[in-house]
Amino acid sequence: MNNMEEEKKEEDEPSCRNRRDSDDSQRKHKDCYLGVTKDTNGEKDPQIKGNQTGDKKKKQKKKKKRKVGEKGDETKGAEKNSVKLKKRKHGNVMRGKDGSANEEEKRTCYNSDRERDRDRVSDRDSHSDSSTSDERPKGAAKMGLVKEEANGKKHEESELTDPHEAQNELGRNATDVGSRLTNRENQSSGAATSQEGSAKENFYSEKKFEDLTICEALKKGLKELNFVTLTEIQAKCIPHFLSGKDILGAAKTGSGKTLAFLVPSINILYNIKFLPKNGTGVLIISPTRELCLQIYQVCKDLCKYIPQTNGIIIGGMSRNEEKKKFIHGINILIATPGRLLDHMQNTKEFIYKNLICLIIDEADRLLQIGFEEEINLIVKRLPKKRQTALFSATQTTKVESLIRLSLHKPIFIEVTTKIATVERLQQGYAIVDEDKRFLLLFTFLKRNASKKIMVFFNNCMSVQFYNDLLNYIDIPTFCIHGKKKQNKRLKSFSEFSSAQSAILLCTNVAARGLDIPNVNYIIQYDPPDDSKEYIHRVGRTCRGNDSSGSAIIFLMKHELKFLNYLKFYNIPINQFAYDSSKLINIQSHIQSIVTKNFHLHKMAREAFKSYLNGYITYALKDVFDVNNLDLLLTSKNFGLDVPPKVDLNLKLNVKKRKFK
């Protein structure tokens, strides 16, 4: 498999997300998500007493006929009224809120095509991905997530108005907007402090690494890395792993799963004196290159006093160099599925017949981004007599089938809490108008230039466009996405990780497992596809037990239903109120830059198209409906005066009509 194929699989572009769930399955569970119950009051037919005469029966029949006729007239009248209302509503939408002729002329040129395709867009719902099964209560119950009703406050919709601030006041305005969030954090700091003691008890166990029955060389390496106390997931997994049992692990992000499988697997190879000539004894499969590199670095540090060799094979690296490593022998191998299967099929020097331990990390993510076929082929090639550990944050149908294929009588270990995210994380949402999303992001980044911030987008083109645009206007940023070359991705990741203050723009490729220190803010510029993805995104901050951070998600008014899905997992989230008049008004400046700069203008058009195509593939159609978007207002976030014509590229199975 070449680099392009694996690069395509790693990315979360809409093309990589094959939606297979139907609208029927979504409607089936929709009411359960939102806490809605339906009451069905069936009307019983009146029973006619046996002693009634024939005349009375005839009279009752006549009355029934009259009632049926009256009901039919009422339904006909209601249908006529509904048709009239639809026509009026359609007319208002096409006219616009302000009713201005200029706006109407602009809207007509690009909205007409969208109106024509609405029927096709609604048909696309039947092609949603099986990842929506992550939202179902069944999966939540399996992962130990308890549903509790949260007393959420009513959404206070803040209306954004066009700011008319002078250029010399821009810095002061940015400070005012940023201070709003800072004040809000200070108000909630007391509650976070009161929960700190209980959080530590839930995160760490009473066991220490010195008390484990592992080799002294491994204990020495752990001590030098300042690993003293085991976390809950480590305390539960390591003893069972050392005893030779298969493990099915589930724990929320940042709980210490990496050491939970590295420590026992390294110790097993050390005790049996596994040699390089024996080939690979431990195989660790992970979904992304960055996560593989992170696991490899931890493994390398742990094996400082261990004779067993370790290595990594990922897409984007030289195959010839990797073949040389196999000649010398790699005892502990960390790999992405695509490159691993390539070497298993084409590299004779790769010896895996003596495999002892197979570890599949982030199994749900592996299957979600399209590695199901590769994983199945890899598992079938491996020896059956082995020990396997599988870690997955969610239990989907695909994960269950992989469990049946790879595990043998596994021990299920989970560490759960009533709240799906850590208590120290301050979470909020901002209600943003369609044309003010970039202005809010720019103002926030300007105010918090001294902080470490991660901003999530839903497609590669948006990440690259905003990275180029922000750097052009003197806001330095890094970016990571699946279409970026591997050496540049590694450079951006390492520089951002080591920086005290920096901004990283990324897709969901950076949402799983990456341990980046001291991240202050997580900004979700584009909402995630589901609640589980939200949890993984915000998990990039508050890593470990002594750190704190904040997470903000940007939501438009028609997207506020997404909060109901978060409440299902007991995620505490409050509204981030801000003064829209304090936003830095650089809209005209941005539009001028994008218009004059050929590169930025081309990138803006491509990013806008990718954004719309990505919006169509959202699984939660009741929340994220592309027909609710105003394309003219949305295009302003990309610095465009008039949005380009977008080919929705809907692959629909339309029945051919026969005309006589």
93 part of a folded domain: no
Q: Give the pLDDT mean for 223-231.
A: 90
Say which residue the tokens 């400046």 belong to: 589
E strand map for 301-395:
310-313, 332-335, 357-360, 387-391
115 part of a folded domain: no
User: Do 360 and 225 share a structural domain?
Assistant: yes
Q: Give the pLDDT mean for 505-533.
A: 83
CATH (domain of 576): 3.40.50.300
8 A C-beta contact, residue 300 and residue 310: yes
118 part of a folded domain: no
Q: How sure is the predictor about 87, in pLDDT bands with cuts at 50, 70 and 90?
A: very low
User: Do 471 and 432 share a structural domain?
Assistant: yes
| Residue closest to 255 by CA, chosen among 536, 568, 566, 567 | 536
Backbone angles phi, psi at 657, to 5 degrees: -90, 140
- Following DSSP, what letter does each residue of 515-570 receive, concatenated? --TT--EEEESS--SSHHHHHHHHTTSS-SSS--EEEEEEE-GGGTTHHHHHHHTT
Helices in 382-456 by DSSP H: which ranges? 397-406, 437-447
502 part of a folded domain: yes
Say which residue the tokens 């299957």 belong to: 367
User: Do 221 and 321 share a structural domain?
Assistant: yes
- Following DSSP, what letter does each residue of 106-120 receive, concatenated? HHHHHHHHHHHTHHH
Q: Give the pLDDT mean for 533-540.
A: 81
Size of the chain, expressed as the number of residues it contains? 660
Beta bridge partners, 333, equal 283, 311
E strand map for 209-303:
229-231, 247-251, 282-285
- Distance in angstroms (rounded) separating the CA atoms of residues 377 and 365: 17
User: Do 391 and 452 share a structural domain?
Assistant: no
Task: Give the orientation angle of helix 587-596 with respect to helix 460-472, to 10 degrees.
Answer: 100
Task: Go through 557-588 and write b for each residue having 16 or more CB atoms within 10 A of its CB, e for each that does not.
Answer: eebeebbbbbbbbbbbbebbebebebbbbbbe
Residue 575 token pair: 């509204």
Q: How sure is the predictor about 402, in pLDDT bands with cuts at 50, 70 and 90?
A: confident
Q: What pLDDT, on a 0 to 100 scale, did the predictor assign at position 636?
A: 95
Q: Give the pLDDT mean for 120-133.
A: 39
pLDDT at position 13 over 60: no
Q: Which of 184-193, 308-317, 511-520 has the highest mean pLDDT?
A: 308-317
- Distance in angstroms (rounded) separating the CA atoms of residues 186 and 166: 30
Query: Which residue did the predictor score with more confidence, 46 or 437?
Result: 437
pLDDT at position 281 over 90: yes
Residue 145 neighbours by CB distance under 10 Å: 22
Q: How sure is the predictor about 83, in pLDDT bands with cuts at 50, 70 and 90?
A: very low
Backbone angles phi, psi at 79, to 5 degrees: -65, -40
Lowest mean pLDDT: which of 111-115, 433-437, 581-585? 111-115
Q: Element (H or E) spanning 478, and its range?
A: strand 478-480
User: Do 322 and 284 share a structural domain?
Assistant: yes
Residue 641 token pair: 């005066």
Full residue range of the structural domain in which residue 485 is found: 167-195+423-585
User: Do 497 and 402 share a structural domain?
Assistant: no
User: Do 384 and 236 share a structural domain?
Assistant: yes
Lowest mean pLDDT: which of 100-104, 440-444, 575-579? 100-104
- Distance in angstroms (rounded) separating the CA atoms of residues 11 and 459: 8
Report the percent of the chain where pLDDT is more than 90.
39
- Please tell me the total count of domains within the chain: 2
Of the residues 377, 393, 415, the one at which a domain ends: 415
- Distance in angstroms (rounded) separating the CA atoms of residues 367 and 347: 25
Q: What pLDDT, on a 0 to 100 scale, did the predictor assign at position 513?
A: 59
User: Do 540 and 506 share a structural domain?
Assistant: yes
139 part of a folded domain: no
User: Do 226 and 180 share a structural domain?
Assistant: no
Q: How sure is the predictor about 487, in pLDDT bands with cuts at 50, 70 and 90?
A: confident
Residue 14 neighbours by CB distance under 10 Å: 20
Q: What pLDDT, on a 0 to 100 scale, did the predictor assign at position 155?
A: 38
Of the residues 585, 614, 645, the one at which a domain ends: 585
6 part of a folded domain: no
Query: Which residue did the predictor score with more confidence, 143 or 296?
Result: 296
- Distance in angstroms (rounded) separating the CA atoms of residues 375 and 341: 8
Helix (H, G, I), strand (E, B) or coil at 221: helix
562 part of a folded domain: yes
Question: Pairing between strand 357-360 and 332-335?
Answer: unpaired
Of the residues 380, 415, 450, the one at which a domain ends: 415
- Distance in angstroms (rounded) separating the CA atoms of residues 409 and 431: 48
- Distance in angstroms (rounded) separating the CA atoms of residues 477 and 454: 10
Residue 176 neighbours by CB distance under 10 Å: 17
Q: Which residues contact 517 (CB under 8 A, 6 or more apart)?
A: 497, 543, 547
User: Do 575 and 505 share a structural domain?
Assistant: yes
| Per-residue pLDDT tens over the stretch 34-77 | 343 333 334 444 343 444 445 555 555 555 555 545 545 544 45
pLDDT at position 553 over 60: yes
Sign of CA pseudo-dihedral 235, 236, 239, 241: negative
Cα 470 to Cα 88, 200, 467, 552, distances in angstroms? 42, 39, 5, 20
Distance of CA 554 to the CA centre of its chain: 14
User: Do 333 and 248 share a structural domain?
Assistant: yes
| Per-residue pLDDT tens over the stretch 584-627 | 999 999 999 999 999 999 999 999 999 999 999 888 888 999 98
174 part of a folded domain: yes
Q: In whole numbers, what is the pLDDT of the chain averaged over residues? A: 74
**Exposure on the CB side of residue 105, measured as CA atoms within 13 A:** 3
Phi/psi zone of residue 474: left (φ > 0), alpha (ψ -120 to 50 degrees), beta? left
User: Do 189 and 231 share a structural domain?
Assistant: no
